[in-house]
Structure 1
Amino acid sequence: MLKKLRIKVDSWTDDTIIAGERRVANPNLIPTAYLFTGAQLNLLLSEEHTDGTLLPQHIVLDPDFLVDVTAICRCFTHHGDAPAMHLLQKFTPATTSAAILLGNVANQFLDDCVNASPQTAPEDLFRASLRKSFRTDALHFATTEGIGQDFADQCHTLFENIHTTVQHRLPAAASLESAFLCEALGIQGRMDMMSSDHRTVVELKSGKAERDEHYRYEHAMQMALYKESLYYNEDLPYAQVTTLLFYARYPHLMDIHLGRNDIHRAIAVRNGIVHLEHLLRTAPAHLFETLTEAHFNVIGVHDRFYESYLRPPILRFLSTINCAPILARSYFFTMLAFVEREQFLAKTGVEGVNMPAGHGGFADTWRTTTAAKQNAGRIIPDLHITPLVTTAGVVAIEAVTTAIDESSNFRVGDMVMLYAQHADCQRQPADFYTSCIIEHFSPTSLTLRLRFPQRDKQLFRTDRLYAIEPAHADSGYTVIYRGLYAFLSIEPSRQQLIIGQRIPQFDETITLSLNVADNHLRDIVLRARQAKDYFLLVGPPGTGKTTVALRQMVLEFLATAPAHGDALLLTAFTNRAVDEICSMLADIAAEYLRIGPELSCAPEHRCHLLTQLVDSYPTRDAVRQLLQQVPIIVGTIASLSSMPELFLLRHFRAAIIDEASQALEPHLLPLFCAVDAHGHLAIDKFILIGDHKQLPAVVAQSPAESAVADKGLRTAGITDCRRSLFERLHSLAIRMGVPQAVGLLHRQGRMHEDIAAFVNANYYDGQLTAVPLPHQRGPLPFTTATAARLIAYDVPASPDRCTAKSNAAEADCVADIVAHIKSALSNQKTSMTLGIIVPFRGQITQIRRALAARHIPDYEAITIDTVERYQGSQRDIILFSTTVSAPWQLPILSQPIETTALSATPAVTHLLLDRKLNVAITRARHQFILVGNLSLLRTCTPYRTLLDYISALND
């Protein structure tokens, strides 16, 4: 019997699948409606007939598209095995109830009872654990109804049952929250508890069992899939694995045994979910046009429970989509398909069985070799680990290696998978892994904080080598899908505003409360105040969008906030930008609250995190009061979008969104469509700050795939899903003749005027002026062979020293330039910051080696990174190693686009814009140095324009 075989579908009949030379019997194992040419299938437990035909027991569709076990099990319902229930869970807003909170508390009890010292008194442990749960989930506790004495009593009962069971009935050597990937079944999940030998799995349930205290089928199915994954991942025979359902309110440990037919049902539901996902990214309109109640109520149940509780949300879901205005539905379907394709690529990569690392999405985890992952910078192998143990168990891991590759794509705050390497295998599948967050990162060591502390330090063996890889989470996409769905049912005025059917309104009777000396800044703040819907502020590099414009807007808000009692929401796309906002708030001594993870927040701002402040607000009422009184709430777009409960407690007069040009339209919909407890819009208006001349959001799809086909949407100006909402609304405001909706910060204080002159003329319509600051017009603060502010060094092609992603000759040239500058700075006792920008991560390693070979002092302190990572930063001197050595590489280096001007009265109507080059140049304060094959670069229009400018400047 063949345990697993991957095939690619060429064709099929009613009962046979053809894949190359193979014929696969399909006796209703998978509906033919699910199949398409090129579909990936896993054949499980196959027997070969005498004619060569394979007969598998199970067929798994698109196995690289991992589906969460809980998502599958939720589809086993009172009204049948219904994959359509996945759509209901996917789109409709999640509600936090007392029962759900009770489940979260129970899981905290289990973790703490397992990790607790035997000397800890049970009552002390109960109070500490409940407090920890409240601290972690304070917002949900504050906004959930039904949290009273009865809830407290239930918590105490659950704790006593869990504590007793852990002490006397569960394995002593075990891991908590064991995460796994199972490519064979196309599933992923997390087990509440698993013995260290992987032969006992425990799943905790805080809710009710079926009548007569019998297990619920969807819970049993969860255990069956856990057992199945152990068989495929670790070859553990079914008979050697015990799966225990732990209903903590009784308490009962139920040993679950399901048959092969149940596994077939589970795989059928999983395939049904994957088929629906396929339709959502290829034909969502057709899917919803044909979707009926019968797809949910598969067996036609019409009892009182179904009619009263289960049917209403199904009908409401169908009605919301089918009854929305035509243009709103077109927008929903277009953006939905776009996001679905992005998620599919993030999970599985470009279509194909064998994809190079960096193109295979999360599926690279099991589909490519360790060497290929290293080349792509998405693995750090060969780690020697030391568990860091406290009274709570193992809370962190210290990992040491000889040297971490400079091209590795990891940063502090990243979520990663830690797992023991397979000594005899080039591929590292990470079947079971520990979820960690990078807390500290250096060239030779890492500190990894465990998401879930572990009592058993033997889980982390110091005699083995470990590796980390990036984790993947679907939760960010879930927030976007719910935002898209919310768009269909929000107030018509906001819906029409988003899709360009209504122009933004302004109240010109409003005046400023504070005096602003600068006339230009006063005009911008006034228009932001007068806006009733939105105001767009373009902030080119160095114009002080945070330290000047945003600061003054916040001061103006605070001057009027006591009279209104409403709050201000401040957000940005990245945590770095949110840290900058927090620094600005600290400068003006503003009171604020930050939402988000601790390790993603700069240490100096963590005292403002909700999770930190909860210690001073120990009750639900106190937390509610804090949230209702603090004038400013801050967080990333993702963090705030995932907290709809926040808007149940607080109305926001305005949301100011920094880096808005880096967020795709669907990213902002959860905020634009947020509603309060009464169903009204929770945020009155939006001030979007960005610069669509700099880098946009990263999109995996091609321009052709992202283009909008719907005529109605194109007429409304919605033509490309890759465009940010900021850029589209900017173009729309100019086209519709609403100049008061758009502002431009034109005084830049970063670049020397020679550097600024190029980007000003070529990218910013000639509208930028110098502040001026002394360094913008004064001489270069140190002496070199040339005092030019823009320099180009020619490095002819050396085919034997180049790869697709690196150029050793350029690296040597860059290192020589750095050595020369460092020497000049040292001799003249001048201090300046250097930065090196590259287009490919492979060039980082080459340059770092070249710097080390020249023994340049403090070369480790020089940041070498891609242009994407440099956006938002600045250095005194920037070196840009273009790296390319062949014509085919130019489209990767430069992707120029035509863009409209910045205002309604432009000097130039259309500009050819290279966003990456713009960002690279505008990082420099004093000097910009370009290194590359100049004859090759001259064949690319934006670079030819730059080189011509440099030549003219230096003549």
Structure 2
Amino acid sequence: GAGDRLRAAMTAFARRTAGEGPASPQELSERLSELLYILYGFSGVRPSEEALSQLLSRREQAVLSAPQGADSRPARTGLFAAVVIAVSPMRTHQTRRYYQLEVLARAQGDVREEKYRIVVAESYPSGVIRGDLMRLREIVRPYWAVNITDLKQGATPSLLYTTADTLIVLEPDFLVDVTDIAACFDGEQANANIFLLSKLLPDRDSEAMLRGTLINDLLDAYLENEKADPRTVFRQALSRNLLKAARYGGETVRRIWDMVVAEHRDNIAAFARGLRGQRVCVEPSFLSALYGMQGRLDVLTEYPDDPALKNIYELKSGRPPGGTALWSSHQVQVACYDMLLTSVYGPRRRGTSALFYSSASQYPVRNFLSSASDRQAIVALRNELIDRVYRLAEGDLSPLEVLDAAHFGPSPAYLREALEQFASFYRGMSPWERKYYGAFLSFTLREMLAAKTGAFLRPGREGTASHGYASLWRDSYRRKRENYAVVDSLSLEWYDRREHVLHFAIREPVEHTLRAGDPVVLYPYHGQRDDVLHNRVVKGTLRAVENDRLEFVPRGARAELEYFRSEDRWVAEHDMMERGYWSSVAGMYTLFSGRSVARGAVSGTLRPGEDDFPYREQAKLTPGQNAAVRGALRAREYFLLQGPPGTGKTSGALMGIVRNVLDCTRDTLTILAFTNRAVAEIADRLRRAEIDFLRLGHESAAQQDRTLSRVAEGMKINQLREYVSSRRVILSTVSAYVSRADDLKELFPRDVALVDEASQLTEVQLGGVLAGFRKFVLLGDQKQLPAVTLQSGAYARVEDPDLRAKGLYDLRDSLFERLWRYAEQQGYEGVRAMLDTHFRMHEQIAELVNPFYQGRLRSGTARQRACRQEPRLCFIPSQYEPVFKRHRGEAETVSRLLREIKQRYGKRFGADTVGVVTPWRAQVGVIRAQIEDDPQLSENVTVDTVERFQGGEKDIIIVSMAVFDPVQMQLVESADAQGEVDRKLNVTVSRAREQLIVLGYEPALQASVFYAQLLEKIRRSGK
């Protein structure tokens, strides 16, 4: 209930406040404002105006996101950025409707916040009627951030009036994609329900979508080379769409391409010739925290001698309207791009904004001049989208109730089938399933909001920017470096055209959390907090990153070398992939829209059974591994295999299942894992066992892997189709599989799914993936690291008795954990097994974590039972250092220990010898700085957080806790729902093969029952 949530939020607030050490007056004010925010949000008790004024310090005021020339002071033409305090009732004066917003805002250059009254009126002397501003009153709420433009000064400095041109943008840090906004417009009407419907249903692929992709590729080719050979373009386009081409087959793809060439090539070639002399930018991306939008244009052209002149061209490959007309959604899309460019480059930007209808027999390029009313309609529609997302995230499911033909509102004819599909789906779920759907829909949107803006974010979460993706423009470079979120000293070295990779040097190496495979955004460095808002950004993927270099693969076929060479210094930061959250939501439609094993397992209506299987004991496996493999093979619908640290879950059990399925059945296997690291390990095992497989993923995967791009070389489309269809094993990360599932299901039978690392995936991430399989086996360990989530546990706790009756207590739990718990409650036999023989830790180390497994773990080798004089367990107490997340004394001790270990090991010292684990990224940096003078240490010793260590092992593990206050231990722990296991501690300890050394300030460590027990066991061991 609300009381529980309030208590949880206040507890989290107290932990954060007490855990950060000495705070400045400004920081104390920020903490106070957060507490007031919590109190008001949960209790409705309104705090004082003096206290409310501190809320502005939570929001870096939007002068940063104002276009050049704008002013944050309350002026007729300026930008007014504020936080809403209150919204008055609707009133009428001489038949004119109006209401008032009470807001807090800070004038430019002034550190104080003042309260203002803004009179929002419906009608104006010019005759303009602003119904959109009246509708806004129904959705704006206290404590929402707003950007307001074009206000008029009233009789007093604190009184302001809206004008006929005013725009009010709600929660501008939530960037809505331009294409999502444009899709909601049809004719003269707009309907925000179209956005919601499109996100709740899975994407439906079609030949038309493939045709559009090929047309885009043809345009890109002609923009780069007016004499491009269509046959070469066709081959290159297919190489980027191999699975889709295989799905449709050679005849269909050739027919589509012939139609593209016949109907579009001449116009595209003429269009490309018309851009001679202009600097052509293909698919540039822009962000606007002024209007709360983001978008990627098809073509932007610039003139080197006239920087203010920038032309927009948006390609449309579908049927064009007659004459010079434009479809309304296309007009809106171009108007949005106009707004983006105004936000980024300022009002001085000039240029054409046009649609390019590539199949039009007349007037293929059609200009569009957007108006104030267009901008007002766009902002109004965007605000409605924000309202729906927040309402659903907060548990208000009423927006779902109107998604049927009777209540939906205006929509294009092509949506009628989708609308009926969702309405039928929603009605067809059982009452329990509707509760489940609503709970996980809200949960997923809270995760998305936490990632985008920091809303609902768990206080004190290590490694997460407090503003989410909005930290790109909200945080200073200094703050970003403190959060290890940025590499801001990149310089371009060279471009590998064949691999489509940009190689950068890192001039000033810094600690950061960017990793190979991460989606990132690059933009020029000009030293300003909001650089990302005043430049076009380049999105792509990190192929590799080391201390002094970085490899970047930009999206699209072109690298825009001229742009990269025009700037001396570049910045790389994490990108945010909103699509993944909506894919999880759409996965629930897949899960509950048909009968499947996964649906029965999730809803608890399926009682799992067993079948006979001709299993023969495998000599290379332990008795426990043999029993687990036998159980997995005999299970009819699903099986859960728990693999504690070092028990051979992958090398023994998973591979045993694979061999038997391939040898004794005709079933296909889809092997999935959460991380690329796990996929790479499985691929290595399959290769060694000489098992043929196809790996899905990026071309930069290991050279030996059987990736689609490599096996397709020299094949025709139908040969590739036959090749994919004849495979029996497909290997992929879950995320890569989801993005290709629609194509793959037409080619590859979905018989059995094996999901490794299943305990690191939330239930909603996995349910839809499993829906198409006849049987699934989940491998994981609920006693190790859980799924990565952002929101506070107060929001994720399940109170509904019907959901709890099926074992659903916390929405952050994995499906693996819940099914394990539910099987235990129901007494299901033959659906789960735990591997009990481990091969990594020495027995003395294993005894530290064995209680987490009810004492069932036993060692599998003589090495693990060997005696030696040197202690296996050691605790080194640290001195009190009241610095949050850093402990210089511990770092110096770690450095000394590492040098002693290196000397002791001599030539045997290597990458597998020793690792250092710490809870904090800051302490990682302090320790690395202590050993950077020794190349052998800096190159061979892994120093990282426990999250990066899962799956790894070293002879010696050194743990640097870097805590000084007992409250901090609550941030360090990751207790399970029963409070019986600290999952982070389990992973930390179990990385060590031969020795564990723990450093920490004992009075703080003793505040944790888990660490108190750890220290006691170390003492009993003799050290």
The TM-score, its normalising length taken from structure 2, stands at 0.84
Match of 1:267 in 2: 379
Match of 1:929 in 2: 997
Match of 1:634 in 2: 731
Distance 1:436 1:847 in 2: 31
- In structure 2, the CA distance between the partners of 1:46 and 1:265, relative to structure 1 (3 Å rule), is same
Match of 2:146 in 1: 41
- In structure 2, the CA distance between the partners of 1:691 and 1:148, relative to structure 1 (3 Å rule), is closer
Letter in 1 for 2:149: L
Match of 1:276 in 2: 388
CA offsets, 1:934-955, max 9 Å, x none? Answer: 2321221111101111111116
1:576 to 677, 687, 692: 677
Unmatched 5+ stretches in structure 1: 675-682, 781-785, 900-910
Indicate whether 1:10 and 2:85 are aligned. yes
Question: What is the 5 A alignment of 1:798-947?
Answer: 798-799=881-882, 803-826=883-906, 833-852=913-932, 855=934, 857-897=936-976, 899=978, 912-947=980-1015
Indicate whether 1:433 and 2:537 are aligned. yes
SS at match of 2:573: strand
Match of 1:75 in 2: 184
Indicate whether 1:53 and 2:151 are aligned. no
Task: Quote how far apart the aligned CAs of 1:345 are.
Answer: 0.6
SS at match of 2:886: coil
Answer yes or no: is the 8 Å Cα contact 1:513–1:559 preserved in 2.
no
Match of 2:519 in 1: 415
Distance 1:167 1:290 in 2: 49
Instruction: Name which of structure 1's ranges 811-820 and 213-222 shifts more when overlaid on structure 2.
Output: 213-222
Answer yes or no: is the 8 Å Cα contact 1:355–1:368 preserved in 2.
no
CA offsets, 1:851-892, max 9 Å, x none? Answer: 135x47342321111100111111111111111112231111
Question: What is the 5 A alignment of 1:660-679?
Answer: 660-674=758-772
Q: CA RMSD in A?
A: 2.5
Indicate whether 1:545 and 2:628 are aligned. no
Aligned residues: 900
Question: What is the 5 A alignment of 1:455-474?
Answer: 457-461=561-565, 464-474=568-578
1:88 to 187, 197, 201: 197
Task: Quote how far apart the aligned CAs of 1:670 are.
Answer: 2.0
Answer yes or no: is the 8 Å Cα contact 2:911–2:940 preserved in 1.
no
CA offsets, 1:657-699, max 9 Å, x none? Answer: 000000000011221223xxxxxxxx11110000000000111
Answer yes or no: is the 8 Å Cα contact 2:641–2:777 preserved in 1.
yes
Unmatched 5+ stretches in structure 2: 1-75, 91-98, 105-114, 122-130
Match of 1:445 in 2: 549
Indicate whether 1:321 and 2:419 are aligned. no
Match of 1:19 in 2: 103
Distance 2:277 2:730 in 1: 44
Distance 1:68 1:829 in 2: 52
Question: What is the 5 A alignment of 1:267-666?
Answer: 267-293=379-405, 295-298=407-410, 306=413, 309-350=414-455, 358-388=465-495, 390=497, 395-406=500-511, 408-423=512-527, 428-429=532-533, 431-454=535-558, 457-461=561-565, 464-491=568-595, 494-507=598-611, 509-512=612-615, 518-561=622-665, 564=666, 566-599=667-700, 601-605=701-705, 608-619=706-717, 621-643=718-740, 644-666=742-764
Letter in 1 for 2:702: A
Instruction: Name which of structure 1's ranges 707-716 and 513-522 shifts more when overlaid on structure 2.
Output: 513-522
Task: Quote how far apart the aligned CAs of 1:798 are.
Answer: 2.7
Distance 2:723 2:885 in 1: 51
- In structure 2, the CA distance between the partners of 1:368 and 1:863, relative to structure 1 (3 Å rule), is same
- In structure 2, the CA distance between the partners of 1:823 and 1:494, relative to structure 1 (3 Å rule), is closer
1:102 to 198, 211, 215: 211
The TM-score, its normalising length taken from structure 1, stands at 0.90
Letter in 2 for 1:585: L
Task: Quote how far apart the aligned CAs of 1:166 are.
Answer: 0.8
SS at match of 1:701: coil
Distance 1:190 1:851 in 2: 44
Answer yes or no: is the 8 Å Cα contact 1:825–1:832 preserved in 2.
no
- In structure 2, the CA distance between the partners of 1:171 and 1:869, relative to structure 1 (3 Å rule), is farther
- In structure 2, the CA distance between the partners of 1:18 and 1:661, relative to structure 1 (3 Å rule), is same
Task: Quote how far apart the aligned CAs of 1:493 are.
Answer: 5.9
Answer yes or no: is the 8 Å Cα contact 1:80–1:297 preserved in 2.
no
Task: Quote how far apart the aligned CAs of 1:355 are.
Answer: 12
Distance 1:942 1:672 in 2: 36
Distance 1:54 1:171 in 2: 47
Distance 1:872 1:794 in 2: 28
1:720 to 787, 810, 814: 810
Answer yes or no: is the 8 Å Cα contact 1:435–1:452 preserved in 2.
no
Answer yes or no: is the 8 Å Cα contact 1:24–1:55 preserved in 2.
yes
Match of 2:95 in 1: none
CA offsets, 1:296-317, max 9 Å, x none? Answer: 333xx8xxx83xx442321221
Match of 1:783 in 2: none
CA offsets, 1:386-419, max 9 Å, x none? Answer: 3426489xx433322333212x011112121111
CA offsets, 1:523-568, max 9 Å, x none? Answer: 222211111111000000101111111111111011024xx3x310
Task: Quote how far apart the aligned CAs of 1:126 are.
Answer: 1.2
Distance 1:863 1:455 in 2: 34
1:764 to 846, 853, 866: 853
Match of 1:220 in 2: 331
CA offsets, 1:475-532, max 9 Å, x none? Answer: 211211110122231217642321223221212x332267556443332222111111
CA offsets, 1:315-353, max 9 Å, x none? Answer: 22122113321111111001111111010111000379x
Task: Quote how far apart the aligned CAs of 1:72 are.
Answer: 0.6
Task: Quote how far apart the aligned CAs of 1:295 are.
Answer: 4.8
SS at match of 2:948: helix
Match of 1:903 in 2: none
- In structure 2, the CA distance between the partners of 1:463 and 1:646, relative to structure 1 (3 Å rule), is closer
Match of 1:777 in 2: 865
CA offsets, 1:751-788, max 9 Å, x none? Answer: 1111112211x21111111111x4312356xxxxx711
Instruction: Name which of structure 1's ranges 569-578 and 715-724 shifts more when overlaid on structure 2.
Output: 715-724
Answer yes or no: is the 8 Å Cα contact 2:456–2:791 preserved in 1.
no
Distance 1:535 1:79 in 2: 54
Indicate whether 1:154 and 2:259 are aligned. yes
Indicate whether 1:745 and 2:829 are aligned. no
Task: Quote how far apart the aligned CAs of 1:806 are.
Answer: 1.2
Match of 1:678 in 2: none
SS at match of 1:617: coil
Letter in 1 for 2:902: K
Distance 2:498 2:1002 in 1: 61
Distance 2:520 2:615 in 1: 48
Match of 2:359 in 1: 249
2:239 to 124, 127, 135: 135
Answer yes or no: is the 8 Å Cα contact 2:524–2:569 preserved in 1.
yes
Answer yes or no: is the 8 Å Cα contact 2:516–2:542 preserved in 1.
yes
Answer yes or no: is the 8 Å Cα contact 1:182–1:229 preserved in 2.
yes
Percent identity between the aligned chains?
Answer: 28
- In structure 2, the CA distance between the partners of 1:832 and 1:626, relative to structure 1 (3 Å rule), is closer
Letter in 1 for 2:443: F
Distance 1:775 1:500 in 2: 44
Match of 1:733 in 2: 823
Answer yes or no: is the 8 Å Cα contact 2:679–2:732 preserved in 1.
yes
Distance 1:513 1:808 in 2: 57
SS at match of 1:86: helix
CA offsets, 1:450-489, max 9 Å, x none? Answer: 2234475321236522111111111211211110122231
Task: Quote how far apart the aligned CAs of 1:294 are.
Answer: 5.1
Letter in 1 for 2:373: N
